[in-house]
Amino acid sequence: MFLRVETATGGRRNPSGQKGTLIRMNAASETRKKKRWHLAAWLTGALIALAVTGVVLMFVFWPFRYRMVHPLLEQAFHSRVVVRRYYRTYFPHPGFVADGVTFWRNGHNGEPPLAQVDHLHVVGTWSGLLFTPHTLYQIWLRGVRVRIVLPSARNGSSAEQRGGEARAEMDTGRAQSQPAARPSKLTQPTPSELHVETIVANGATLDILQKGKTSLHFVFETLQIHNVHAGEPLTFFTRARLPRLRAVVAANGTLGPLRPGHYAEMAVQGGFSIGGVDLSRVSSLGGNASASGHYSGRVDQIVVQGKLAIPNFHVGQAHVERLDAAYNVTVRVPQGEVDVARAKVQLAGSTITANATIGGNPKIARVNFATTDGNLQRLLEVVEKDTPTVAGTASFTAQAQFGAGPEPFLKRLRLQGRAAVQDVTFVQSGTQQKVDAFSARVRKQKTREKGTVTAAATAETTFRNGIASFREVRVTLPGAAAQLAGTFNLLNLRVNLTGKATMQRDLSNALTGWKRWLAVPLDPFFKHGKQGAIVPIAITGTAQNPKIGQNLFHNR
């Protein structure tokens, strides 16, 4: 039995040894857990310390403090800035909000503020705050109102007479705000270091004021500016409404690089489109104009090239014609002067070339224009309410000038020129038949062919107060020629031209019926050698119903 028991017990494990192994394994696991907890606690503490340090540093070097932002605004815009309410923002983006911001010129002497902003919101980024602290992501402006006061005419038309370029650049001195310690370069970048990615000022308005003149008002429905950084050109897009003209202007392009204090010298280029211009809002002209093109140059002198279309152009209550033009314009902004070179106008079936200038005080437009082989009837329709009485081709050169004013356009127009018309016929068949018959009677050489007689004429004219004065009008038609002088009133369309007519045959041949027999005894008195007769002639009546005849007793 002893051996059996020993054998039985020798094959079993020792319970006390298994327990010891388990104890040692549990102890090692607890040690590893404690090390992990210690490591996690150390890392958490380090992160908390780092976060606390970051928060402390953020508050110490936070770039959007009022005492840092306020001088920066005054430096950037060269004006005294007053802020009604200011507070910083942290989430979701760092930045600040300023309400009731007003920009004043120093020494404004009662002039309105240069600009007012109801709400200004500057948005940065947390990554940018760490790596590019001088970069602002976005600036949102709401309720922007800008006022530019130009010098009065008696004080000079150029901005140099008041020490600047009629500055929208806010030519003022140092801000008159509460003194503050000068921040370090790290916390407050100079304007040359500041970089703004995007400025949005939709709904902004601009008023250009000048004493004694009507102000100009612009409403910018859309205004976005990108890449505002000294040394680099900014890009922009705007859509503005001109209430006075009921027009909409869209423009995009580049401006700069920015040069504080020298804004007039900054380069500018881009494209534009203008639609819905109501010409009746500015003069007695009529029609709705649209234009497009591109521009380049400097802020103080811009060259514009483009095209203009007016599908319903008219003068006063005259006929409607389509007008198309290609133009090259130079605008001198400080003086408000415009030069138009090499303009090509398509109007009433005619091609008109023109050069023009707009300048002076008050503004006067001076235009030199010319055309060859124009459609006479359609050209007259541009200025005449009723159907013109003559047709043919016209060529002319003229110098005209006109200015703004309450009077109708034709009374404000001053013109001097020379015109030539060919192949002239009368639109009314009755009048044309009388001319055909007259020509047939006074011609020496008779022709068997019967047809419409055409005339030609040359004239020198001056136009003032709605009346065209003709110093000399030469008219020729088969069998006769005439030299006339007189006036044509475009306001009431009355004609008064008198002169003399030279005919190839005697006076009696020009008359019909019993008048012819009565004139036979007078033939010797009007006979001019072998050339026939020279008799007084008058064209009277209206353009719609002219009276052409031999008036022997007409008082010239």
**Do 252 and 348 lie in a common domain?**
no
Domain residues for the domain of 201 are: 60-265
**Domain presence at residue 168:** yes
**Domain presence at residue 49:** no
pLDDT of residue 6: 44
pTM over 0.85: no
Please enumerate in sequence order all residues whose Cβ is within 8 A of that of 24, keeping only pairs 6 or more positions apart, or say none.
Answer: none
**Do 233 and 362 lie in a common domain?**
no
As to burial, measured by CB atoms within 10 angstroms (0-12 exposed, 13-18 middle, 19+ buried), residue 510 is buried
pLDDT of residue 453: 86
Amino acid at 221: E
**Do 184 and 97 lie in a common domain?**
yes
d(CA 170, CA 74): 10
Given 203, 237, 265, the domain boundary residue is 265
pLDDT of residue 131: 73
For the residues 92-96, what does the mean pLDDT come to?
Answer: 84
Between 4 and 470, residue with greater pLDDT:
470
Given 414, 437, 470, the domain boundary residue is 414
d(CA 339, CA 330): 5
Given 389, 414, 439, the domain boundary residue is 414
pLDDT of residue 148: 75
pLDDT confidence tier of residue 169, bands split at 50, 70 and 90: very low
**Do 220 and 288 lie in a common domain?**
no
Render pLDDT for 519-533 as a digit per residue (tens, 0 to 9): 777 667 677 666 688
**pLDDT over 70 at 88, yes or no:** yes
d(CA 171, CA 261): 8
**Do 254 and 286 lie in a common domain?**
no
pLDDT of residue 269: 94
**Do 404 and 503 lie in a common domain?**
no
**Do 136 and 194 lie in a common domain?**
yes
Residue of 467, 469, 438, 441 whose CA lies nearest to 455:
438
**Do 484 and 404 lie in a common domain?**
no
In the block, which residue shows the tokens 């002198």? 301
**pLDDT over 80 at 193, yes or no:** no
**Domain presence at residue 3:** no
**pLDDT over 80 at 178, yes or no:** no
d(CA 431, CA 288): 37
Render pLDDT for 119-135 as a digit per residue (tens, 0 to 9): 999 888 877 776 776 67
Mean pLDDT over all residues of the chain? Answer: 77
Number of domains present in the structure of the chain = 3
**Domain presence at residue 213:** yes
**pLDDT over 90 at 305, yes or no:** yes
**Domain presence at residue 5:** no
Please enumerate in sequence order all residues whose Cβ is within 8 A of that of 310, keeping only pairs 6 or more positions apart, or say none.
Answer: 279, 287, 288, 289, 290, 322, 323, 324
**Do 328 and 469 lie in a common domain?**
no
**Domain presence at residue 46:** no
**Do 178 and 103 lie in a common domain?**
yes
pLDDT confidence tier of residue 175, bands split at 50, 70 and 90: very low
**Do 314 and 374 lie in a common domain?**
yes
Render pLDDT for 321-347 as a digit per residue (tens, 0 to 9): 899 999 999 988 777 788 998 899 998
**Domain presence at residue 4:** no
**Domain presence at residue 107:** yes
* Distance, CA of 367 to chain centre: 19
**Do 409 and 433 lie in a common domain?**
no
Residue of 347, 354, 273 whose CA lies nearest to 311:
347
pLDDT of residue 555: 44
